[in-house]
Every structure is written in C-alpha cells, then in structure tokens.
Amino acid sequence: MAKPTDLVQGTLDLLILKTLSLEPKHGWAIGKRIQQVSEEALRIQQGSLYPALHRLEQQAWIEAEWRPTETGRMAKFYSLTRSGRKQLERELANWARLSTAINIVVQEA
Amino acid sequence: MRILGKARLRLRSLCRRPNVDFELEAELRFHLDQLIEENISSGMPPEEARRAAQRMIGGIAQHKEECRDMRRVNFVEDLVQDIRYTIRSLAKSPGFTGVVVATLALGIGANTAIFTIVHGVLLRPLDYPKPDQLMYLAAESPATGDTRNPLSAPEYAEFRQMNQSFAAVGAYSTGGAAYTTGEVNLTAGDRPLRVRSISVDAHLLKALSIQPEQGRFFSDEETARWTGTLPPPIAILSHELWRTAFGGRSLVGQKVEIEGRLHEIVGIMPPGADVMDNQTQVWLPLWLHPSTARQRGVHVLYVIARLKDGVTFEAAQTELNAFIKDWGERVGTKDHVPTNNPVRAVDHTLQLQALQDAIVGSSSRQIWVLQAAVGFVLLIVCANLANLVMARAGSRRREFVLRTALGASRGRLLRQSVTEGAVMSGAGGILGLWLASAGVRALIRAYPTSIPRTSELTIDLPVLLVALGLSTGTALLFGFVSLGRGRTSMATALKEGARGASGAWRHYARRGLVTAQVAFAVMLVIGAGLLVRTVYNLTRIDAGFDRSRLVTFSMTLPMANSDPDTRAQAYQRVLDRLRSVPGVLGTVAMSGLPPDRTPDAVATPVENYTSDDGRPFAIVDYYQFVMGDYFGTMGIPIVAGRGFERTDNASQGKVAIVNETLAKRIWKGQNPIGQRLRPPGGSFGATDDVWHTVIGVAKDVRQRGVERPAGTELYVSLDQHGVSPPSMNVVMRTTLPPAALSGTVQRVVREVDAAVPVVRLRDMDSVFAESIRRPRLLAQLLGAFAGLALLLAAIGTYGVLSYMVTERRREIGIRVALGATRCNVLTQIMKQGLQVTMLGVTIGLAGALAVNRLIASLLFGVQPTDIVTIAFVIATITAVAVIASWLPAWRASRLDPNVVLRDE
C-alpha cells in the first residue's frame, strides 16, 4: 500500500509519538503542531495521519478518549501509553542512528 | 498484556462496528470542520471554504476504509461478505449447487460411514483396561484347515502352570459342557426367553479386568472344581438383560430359572461387558463333566490371557514355542499333545494372537476392501466436482475479470473461491455426516451379526475429524481449481470476451479427470461384479436338500428338569401336533440345522478299521440325530441302501445312515452297507454305546456354511432309541409362510412345556440368507458404491461433452454451414466422448487386474480375472458412455448454423 509522503519512510510514527509525548492532542492538533514546530516544512496529509493514528492505537502505543476541546466541541484525544513511551525511546534511538549514518554518508560524498 | 489489549481493540472494532464507524466518521468530520474554520478565518467565504476543505482532504469514505484497514479486521468482514455473496450466487444456480452438494454428501457420507466401521471395528482398542496385553490362545490343525479351535481342559491347565509370560490365563466355553449351544432358556417373570450365554472361569474375569456393576464375580472354587453332574446354580446377568427382562429391579441374591433350574444371581455386569463379541446376556460358571475334563482329545475351552507388564508378544510366542517342543515330556504323556510339526489330521499346534485380531478375524479384509471402494468413490466425486467447478469458473470468467479490473486482488478472488467451496463442502459435509449416521444405523439393524463389535459403533471424534478433513480438502480443491483458471491475463480474458475460449491445458485436464473417473469406476464395478457373482454362486450351491417351502424353529428342553426319554416323548408330541396342522406336509426334527451348524467331531469306533494314526476309531465331523421321515421330508436323496423306516423303531438291531463322504473316507470303495459303527450313547442321551449297522448312504449335505465341502456325517434315528438330546430343530415342509405358522407353533410348544421358548422361527431361505450374510453384505455395499461410481462417471462424461459442445458452437456452426451433415457432427462428438471412455476403461482394466488379487480370498466360484464379469462390465460402461455422449452429441447435431453464427 504505497502512500505518497514527503516524509522519510517510517518517521511519521516517530513524529506523532513525539508530539503526543508532551500532552494528549486530537488529530487536527497533532497535524498543526508538527507543521508549526517544523516551521511549515512538514505538512501531514489527513490521508496519512488518521490511518497512522489508528495503526498506533491498534498497536496499543497510544490510546484515545473523547473529550471537549477549548471551544467545547467533542474531539478524539490521543495520548501516549506506557508501551508507547518505550516505543518512542526506541524510535528516537533508531532515528539518531539513522540520521547520523545519513549525515556521514552525505558529508563524505 | 499488549497482545490482550490489541485483541480487545480488534474485538471492539469487530463487534461494535457501527459504533467504531460512527466514531471514525465523527473524528474525520471534526477534522473537516477545523479545516473549514481555518479557511474561513483566513478570509474565505463559508461556501468556498467548505469546498476547498473537501477538495483538500479528498474522499472521506476512502479515508475511512484506510483507517479500517489499519484495524486489521477486514479478513473477518470479508469472510462474512464472501459467505453472504456465495449463498446469494449459489442460490441463483440451484442446479449446480444441488448437484455439487448432493455429490459431496454421497461421497463424504459413504466415506464417513465406512470409516466409522473401520475405526470402530479395526482401529479402536478393545474396551478392557490395557487391551493390547490381551492374547487369544487357539489350537490349529493345518491338515484339516481348522484354525482358532478351542483347547482341551488338560492343555489349558498345563499352560496355566507352565507359562511365565502371562499375569492371568482364563478360559471360557460356549458349548461342550452342561450348556451346549451358547444359549440357555431363562424365565423372566412368566416369560420364557432364549438368551445368549457364556461359561467363564474366575481367571478369565481376572485376565479381562472387568468389574461387576453389582454383586460379585464367581470364585475360583465355583469355576474350577468340576464335580457332580451339573454346574453350581449361580449366574451373572448382563446389564442389558437385567434392564430389559427384569426392568432393572434389585436382583442380586434372588433366584431366576435358567435351563430348568433355579440359579442365584450373584452379580450384574457393567453395560457393554462381553467376551469375544459373543453378545453375552448371561454369564455362567465354567463347568466340565469330570470325564470330559480328563480327555486330551476333547477341545472345549477358549483361552484368553493377559501378558505381564513389560512382556512382549514375541517373548510370549517364543516361550509358547519352547513349551510345544517338549510338551509331552513335561506332562508325561505322548497322547494328543500340541506339536510344532502337525502333519496328520489329529495333530494340532497352539497359536497366540492379539485378542483384537482374533475378534475381528476375517472381516478385517472385507472392511478394508469397502474402505478402498469408498476411497475410489471419493476420488471420482472430487474429479467430478473439479470438472463442474472448472465449467462454472469458465462461465464466470467475465465476472472475475470485471472484479479484477475493479481492483479486487488475486488473493481476494481466491478467498472468494475457497469460501464458495467451503460453503458447499460444509453443506455437503453436514448432509454427509447425517447420511453416514443414518447409514451405519440402518446397516447394523439390517445385518446385526455380520460386522463384529457393532454394539460399540458410534460416530465419535476421530470419525468427525476425518469427515472434517474430507470437507476441508474438497473446499481447498475448489478454490485452487478456480485459481488455476484465473491465471490468464486480464487483457486476454477481456478480449476473448463471451466466447470464453480456453487454453488447451484445460481441455486435457478435464478429459484427464473424466478418464480417471471412468478408470476408477471400472475397477469398482469389476470388483462389485465379482462379488455379486460370488453371492450368486453361493445361493446356487446345492446344499444337498430341497430348501423350498421349509419352515424351521428350534427349542430346548433343559437337561436339568428332563431326562432323555421324557424329552423324546415331548418332541414326539410337538411333531405329532404339528403334523395335524392343515398345510403342513411333513414334520421332522434334527439335532443340527444345516447349512450352518457347529461341528461335533466325535471319535467314533468303527468295526474292522484302523485310522491313519493307528486308532480303531474315526473322527466323525457331524452327528445328526433325527426324528420322523427325515430324508423324505428334507428331500435328501438316498444313493445306496435305504432310509430309516417305521419298522426300524421296533427292531432290536440299531441302524445308522452315513453320508457319501464318510463312506468314501472310512470304507474307501468297499460297500458301506452292513458295516458297523459305535457312536457314544452319551452324545444323544442313550445310556450305553451300542453297535449300529449302516443301512444306507445319503447324499452329502453342506453343514458348516454352503461354501465349505461337506464333512463326514452320521445319521442316527432317535425314534429307534426313544431318547433325545436337549436341543432340537424342528423342520416342516409346508405351503404356509413362517408368519402364518407362528401362532400355531407357539401354542403347540406351550401346550407341551410352557417354560420352553420357540426360537428362530423362520423359513429355510432365511437360514441360507443368514449363512451367506457377510459376502452378501459386502456385495450389496460394493454394488451400491459401484453404481454410484458409474453414475458419477456418466455425469462427468456428459458434463465435459456438453461443455465442449457449448464452447465449440461456432466451430460446429461453421462446419454445418460448410456442408457437414448432422450425422458427421454426431459421430464426431460421440467419438470424442468414447475415446475418453475407452482410455479410462483400458486403464481401469489394468488397475483391476492389478488389485483384484487382494479380493481373491473373498470370492467363491469365480476367478479375479473372470472373463465373463469383465466383458459384462466393459459392455455396461460402454453403454453408459454411449448414452452420456449421445445426448450432447445429438444436441450439437441439431445446432442451426444461422442462429449460431448470428449469435456470435
């Protein structure tokens, strides 16, 4: 199931988990947050975001809860579970290794 | 934990699907609203903002689907969808579905039924603790061909003492002692019954390790001290008899009349307890007459032994062989001991056999033959189904291609096909299971004594597993047959369109399947044909007497409350009263009812005679004690001398009649008339042994199965002696059927002795049918399976040809347009059908010749290569093939080229 994405393969999960590690957020806020933090460099498509959220929930790394937003509307808030936190650590370590390796290769060339 | 959590979530997705869907919808709706809001706040008019947002996020439905995919429950949802779709599409073609399900049900049903028998009779261990330790010890006389004979009492005692291998050695007897026939009269309340009995010693019950349900077993005292003239009056009832005859009321310690004497019931057996499939209803203490117990030549005890823990069959066999080597020295006699080198008719050796094999005996081969036959039927069923499914897949080609074009993956299509297969084989399997259980029940009811261990037959777990395996196997077959078809590329398939042109491989595959079907059918039909001939031959055997219009029953006046002359008078009264019944032309009584009785094998002194082993007596296989005009009424020709006559009754000199075999074997060409023999008086109730003069020679009568050659037989007239043994068979030559005589016979016997039941009142044809019940059952079942195979093969041939005609409509149309006559078309199609059939017949014939040796031992009067049977089978199959091919060929020849070519 090839989905067009600007992200390096597999990094979307990392971004979501990292974003949720601070506080629970709903899908819209997750997308916005990534967009802001990355200074508009990363735009997560809805078509990638929601399937990813459902997949992470299925893996039990995040859990969902319906809560009112500041404006009073009900929205589905996702938060990190304990195993999600561990997964985040693993993914961070992976990312560190991968980015270092890529940097080395890129700078060598 | 995590796995549990995940499972919970998936379960939630599945079970609360509307809920989850709703949540998903709300979540996406929220996102959409946020987007619209953002657009508005950036200055867009609301309507445009909404449109822009929707453009941006694309189809909501698609996202929902993707999210659901992530939840991984699609497999189950698809399955439900597939099953629904399958049921809808199958319901649309009821003909196809009906044929498939019915074929499957027959195939699976036949296989499950026969496997129930294979499993219940051959594979399942016996119902005793540690059943593989149980052994059966029997005497064998290779010279006479007798196997599984009982042992003599001294031999049994010696073996018990000598052996080291067995933890317990016990014996039983069904005759030869006080209770002679394996049946006893038993009075339950005021109802006289004839019930199956067995006489056992305490050791046997120990060896079998069965416990009584109530009361106690016999003690060593009661079963091993053989004194007096009658066994101790105690008995154990089977659970079943206790329930049916006594209503399960408390009975232990009470007295019940058995064989004219009151017996104390000391125990009740647990349900199903039995020995050697005897269907025992009453267990009696083993008892032998002290004189019998001393004789080495009198073989009356069947021996069952239990191996000690850790001792192997081989070790026990080796030990037994060592005993037999010097049995004589060990026990200090040369007279009639087991020998390792039995050459003469009187010699015997001892053979150890697993008890289960001893019980199942010769029926094992018949059951395996049936299993092989239904296996063939199943293969034919599968070939037929594969053909049907291929044809259906061919016509559904466009549907599949369309679905592929709309995005269905190959795996998804395969899953759909397998689901279709599973639904149909599931239905076929359930129906088959029902057929099997009904079939097995009907079989047991119709042939209660033809199959051993029937009381234990049930469709249990292993059988269910086999049925399940068969269904699953066929379901997979379905899927993959359709898959093989799906291999052509989409483009080709779409181009070919409705014509559904097909690859050559498919033609070959389908013809190959029909060839295989025909081949298997040929093998089955030949096998069935040979067995039908066997049964025909068996029914045509001249048993030596005129069996038509004979009605027979048996009765027993117990030894305990009658003596030989009162018995003779009682029988005489019965015979006299029956003779006066209108429609009864003649009435006689005899001790052993041909053509299926137990042998007597009595050592009979013969005047001026020395046997091969130097003795002054001959072993006479059958003694026949008769009352009335025996030879006249039975229609047995006297070939020399004369039959018994009324004047003999008053004369002093006792007379006897011998059969041809006896005359030939003993007097070897000399004139038997006037020779003398001295039958032991004890065998028929006379007080002493007297010389009998031979006055006639009767034609041989088959006594122990119609297929066995007659043995030596000696006739003695009880009218002359005025005595009678306890059990007699009455035979009436009559124009009436048994049912019409039943009331009269019951009344006559009740008038003579109210405590005596009338047993097995039936006509002689039934007696004959009973004597050949096993080959007949085998022939009937095999015949049914062969018929089924033939029908399926015909359907297969017809199906393939009709499909071929449909596919080649255009070609045929063109040929007709170019001048081919209807006759040309007809012959061409038929030729193709017959080619396939003939190839199948050839292969099947080769196969039949190869495997028919295996059933040679089940045949009678016909060779496995019997040319008449084979010719008949080939003719039948060819006729069936001609009919099956003619129909589609005829249809092809009627094609109107105008219509066909316009259609295309």
Q: Do A76 and B57 touch (CB under 8 A)?
A: no
What is the spatial distance between Cα B512 and Cα B390, in angstroms, rounded to a whole number?
13
Instruction: Determine the number of helices (DSSP H) and then strands (DSSP E) in chain B.
Output: 32, 25
Query: In a mutagenesis test of the A interface, which of B13, B27, B40, B54 is the best target, namely the one with the most A β-carbons within 10 Å?
Result: B27
Q: Do B31 and A1 touch (CB under 8 A)?
A: no
Chain A CB contacts of B41 under 8 Å are: none
Contact in structure between B418 and B479 (CB atoms under 8 Å):
yes
CA B862, distance to chain mean position in Å, is: 22
| B102-139 tens-digit pLDDT | 888 888 888 888 888 888 888 888 888 899 999 999 88
Chain A CB contacts of B34 under 8 Å are: 28
Q: Does B19 touch chain A (CB under 8 A)?
A: no
**What confidence tier does B499 reach under pLDDT thresholds 50, 70, 90?**
very low
Res. A88: pLDDT tops 80: yes
Those residues whose C-beta lies under 8 Å from the C-beta of residue B362, and which sit 6 or more positions away, are: none
Q: Which of B612, B623, B748, B772 lies closest to B684 in space, CA to CA?
A: B623
pLDDT at B177: 46
User: A91 to chain B, minimum CA–CA distance in Å?
Assistant: 18
What is the spatial distance between Cα B667 and Cα B659, in angstroms, rounded to a whole number?
12
* H/E run at residue B193: strand B191-200
| B523-540 tens-digit pLDDT | 999 999 999 999 999 888
What is the spatial distance between Cα B285 and Cα B292, in angstroms, rounded to a whole number?
16
Chain B CB contacts of A54 under 8 Å are: 67, 70-71
Q: Do A50 and B57 touch (CB under 8 A)?
A: no
pLDDT at A2: 35
pLDDT at B81: 78
Predicted model pTM: 0.72
**What confidence tier does B829 reach under pLDDT thresholds 50, 70, 90?**
confident
Contact in structure between B156 and B350 (CB atoms under 8 Å):
no
CB-CB: which of B33, B63, B69 is closest to A46? B63
Scanning every residue of chain B, which has its alpha carbon at the shortest distance from the alpha carbon of A30?
A: B31
Beta bridge partners of residue B696, listed in sequence order: B641, B657
More confident of the two residues B333 and B486: B333
The C-alpha torsion from A78 through A79 and A83 to A89, rounded to 10°, is 110
Residue B194 corresponds to which tokens in the numbers above?
Answer: 């004839």
**For residues B289-305, average pLDDT:** 84
Q: Do A58 and B6 touch (CB under 8 A)?
A: yes
Contact in structure between B567 and B724 (CB atoms under 8 Å):
yes
pLDDT at A3: 38
Beta strands in B607-653 (DSSP E): 617-620, 622-627, 638-641
pLDDT at B167: 92
More confident of the two residues B486 and B399: B399
Burial of A72 (0-12, 13-18, 19+ CB in 10 A): exposed
Q: Does B67 touch chain A (CB under 8 A)?
A: yes
pLDDT at B193: 87
User: DSSP code of B858?
Assistant: G
Beta strands in B580-710 (DSSP E): 584-590, 602-605, 617-620, 622-627, 638-641, 654-659, 676-677, 692-698
Q: Do A47 and B63 touch (CB under 8 A)?
A: yes
pLDDT at B500: 44
Query: In a mutagenesis test of the A interface, which of B32, B63, B69 is the best target, namely the one with the most A β-carbons within 10 Å?
Result: B63
pLDDT at B497: 46
> What size, in residues, is chain A?
109
| B637-655 tens-digit pLDDT | 999 999 999 888 888 889 9
**For residues B734-749, average pLDDT:** 91
**What confidence tier does B473 reach under pLDDT thresholds 50, 70, 90?**
confident
* H/E run at residue B828: helix B822-851
Could you give the ipTM of this predicted complex? 0.82
Chain A CB contacts of B31 under 8 Å are: 27-28, 46, 50
| B551-562 tens-digit pLDDT | 999 998 887 778
Res. B673: pLDDT tops 60: yes
Res. B75: pLDDT tops 70: no
What is the spatial distance between Cα B596 and Cα B773, in angstroms, rounded to a whole number?
12
Chain A CB contacts of B58 under 8 Å are: 46-47
Res. A89: pLDDT tops 80: yes
| B686-702 tens-digit pLDDT | 888 899 999 999 999 99
Res. B478: pLDDT tops 90: no
What is the spatial distance between Cα B574 and Cα B412, in angstroms, rounded to a whole number?
81
User: A29 to chain B, minimum CA–CA distance in Å?
Assistant: 9
Res. B501: pLDDT tops 50: no
| 3-state DSSP assignment of residue B730 | strand
pLDDT at B56: 67
Q: Which of B156, B168, B173 lies closest to B129 in space, CA to CA?
A: B168
Question: Which segment of B92-96, B248-252, B377-381, B655-659 scores lowest on mean pLDDT?
Answer: B92-96
What is the spatial distance between Cα A1 and Cα B322, in angstroms, rounded to a whole number?
78
| B354-412 tens-digit pLDDT | 998 888 877 888 888 889 899 889 888 888 888 877 777 766 767 777 777 776 777 77
User: DSSP code of B562?
Assistant: -
Chain A CB contacts of B30 under 8 Å are: 26-28, 73-76
pLDDT at B308: 93
Query: How would you classify residue B199: left for phi > 0, otherwise alpha for psi between -120 and 50, otherwise beta?
Result: beta
Q: Do B27 and A76 touch (CB under 8 A)?
A: yes
Q: Which of B538, B535, B436 lies closest to B444 in space, CA to CA?
A: B436
Those residues whose C-beta lies under 8 Å from the C-beta of residue B777, and which sit 6 or more positions away, are: B443, B447, B450, B451
Q: Does B66 touch chain A (CB under 8 A)?
A: yes
Q: Do B57 and A46 touch (CB under 8 A)?
A: yes
| 3-state DSSP assignment of residue B448 | coil
Average pLDDT, chain B: 84
Q: Does A60 touch chain B (CB under 8 A)?
A: yes
CB-CB: which of A47, A73, A76 is closest to B58? A47
Contact in structure between B749 and B574 (CB atoms under 8 Å):
yes
User: B47 to chain A, minimum CA–CA distance in Å?
Assistant: 21
Query: In a mutagenesis test of the A interface, which of B21, B34, B36, B60 is the best target, namely the one with the most A β-carbons within 10 Å?
Result: B34
Contact in structure between B543 and B768 (CB atoms under 8 Å):
yes
More confident of the two residues B457 and B626: B626
Beta bridge partners of residue B763, listed in sequence order: B551
Res. B287: pLDDT tops 50: yes
Scanning every residue of chain B, which has its alpha carbon at the shortest distance from the alpha carbon of A78?
A: B27
Res. B681: pLDDT tops 80: yes
**For residues B870-884, average pLDDT:** 88
Chain A CB contacts of B36 under 8 Å are: none
pLDDT at B486: 47
pLDDT at B819: 84
**Strands B692-698 and B282-285: what pairing?**
unpaired
Contact in structure between B559 and B259 (CB atoms under 8 Å):
yes
pLDDT at A5: 44
Place of tokens 């033809």: B450
User: A60 to chain B, minimum CA–CA distance in Å?
Assistant: 6
Q: Name the percent of chain B lying above pLDDT 70.
A: 90
Scanning every residue of chain B, which has its alpha carbon at the shortest distance from the alpha carbon of A56?
A: B70
Q: Do A47 and B66 touch (CB under 8 A)?
A: yes
**What confidence tier does B61 reach under pLDDT thresholds 50, 70, 90?**
low
Distance (Å) of CA B407 to CA B349, B410, B417: 78, 9, 16
Q: Which of B10, B252, B302, B291 lies closest to B151 in space, CA to CA?
A: B302
Neighbours of B433 (CB within 10 A): 21
Q: Does B11 touch chain A (CB under 8 A)?
A: no
